[in-house]
Amino acid sequence: MRRREMGLFRRLVPAVLVVALVAAACGNGDDGDAGADDGEPDVEETEEGGGSAATVDADSLEIVTAPTGSIFFPLGSAIAQQLEAGLDIPVTAAPSAGSGENVVLLSGGDAEIGIIASNALVPAYEGMTPYDEPYEELRPLAHLFPNALVVFALESSGFETIADLEGARVGVGLEARTWDHFIGPLFASQGMVYGENITPVYAGFEDMANQVRDGQLDAAIGTGGSDSPSPAITALASEVGVTYLEWDQDGVQSVADEIGFVNVFADYPGDVLEGYGGDTYFTADIGGPYLAATTAMSDDTAYEVTRIFHEQLETMANDVAVVRWILDAGLENLVQPLGDLPFHPGAVRYWQEVGAMD
């Protein structure tokens, strides 16, 4: 087993927040075809949750997610719980700096599974900005949900639109390298240009929400699935009240026309935004996340991870709101293609068996 030397474990939250926390994560070291055969995987019955316990060629798995205030972390924790029960091996859900770091961690063998937004997955695979070289070993297992961009400020701020942020300090993502190439153009489409009439500030989602509450930031971004925004936003809205800033729709459309993984999200449900008065919130889908691995994961392991994830959606939906949307969206959502980036062969085998792929 290969133990991570530094870094990610120093960022792990207390054990009460992490499902099935273990002290090490390891890669199995096999290439994408290793261990595959023409038969079905060896499956044993079990009394635990997560369906049946499967024999896979990994003795532990780690899922890297995002900061604890993001929606990725509770989702990853729920998936880890089901995988641990179904595979009968330790499975850890760990916070990280987000999709950009998850690309590096998966490719370096420091984690086996990651929740990675397509705004990082596609550029990384193709070696485009902000990546200096292609990460051609990345492979999706399943698409999860749209990634809505939500911009919020204190209710007392008086802001109503993005264009009202003239001269403001705005939280714009985790780090410039992995966020500026799509969040920057979206703000610019509203007349708000970094370093000219707004000051960009980089921090985790929970930190940004706290800084808005404390007056260190005038506004900040958050993200959310189709029916649930970042937990940090909901918590702040419940505590002190927030306002959700409106977008110029033509500006968002112009960015969507130029950036392949940005889409218009015209009908984000208003009733899931705490304190929002409208039926729907117009915004951008900034690249829905995928459950992803690399070609280092064997086909059988990828098959079992995908199978358990899919079969346990109903169970996970009881604890994580966005999973209900994933479940209701059906098979077409789960296998949403991602340009030229191929799904993992093990995942393809599973999705073909259930009729989601040809």
Is the residue at 140 inside a domain? yes
> What is the pLDDT at residue 49?
44
Asked if residue 237 and residue 153 are part of one domain, the reply reads: yes
> What is the pLDDT at residue 17?
32
Asked if residue 165 and residue 103 are part of one domain, the reply reads: no
Answer whether 288's CB lies under 8 Å from 276's CB: no
Let me know if 142 is exposed, middle or buried by CB neighbors in 10 A (0-12, 13-18, 19+): buried
Asked if residue 92 and residue 12 are part of one domain, the reply reads: yes
- The total of structural domains in the chain comes to 2
Least confident of 45-54, 125-134, 248-257, 277-286: 45-54
Q: What domain range includes position 97? A: 8-145+289-353
Asked if residue 204 and residue 122 are part of one domain, the reply reads: no
pLDDT tens-digit readout, 85-104:
999 999 999 999 999 999 99
Q: Which residues contact 53 (CB under 8 A, 6 or more apart)?
A: 43, 44, 45, 46, 85, 86, 87, 88
Asked if residue 200 and residue 245 are part of one domain, the reply reads: yes
Is the residue at 1 inside a domain? no
CATH number assigned to the domain comprising residue 128: 3.40.190.10
pLDDT bin (cut points 50, 70, 90) of residue 54 is low
Last residue of a domain, one of 285, 319, 342: 285
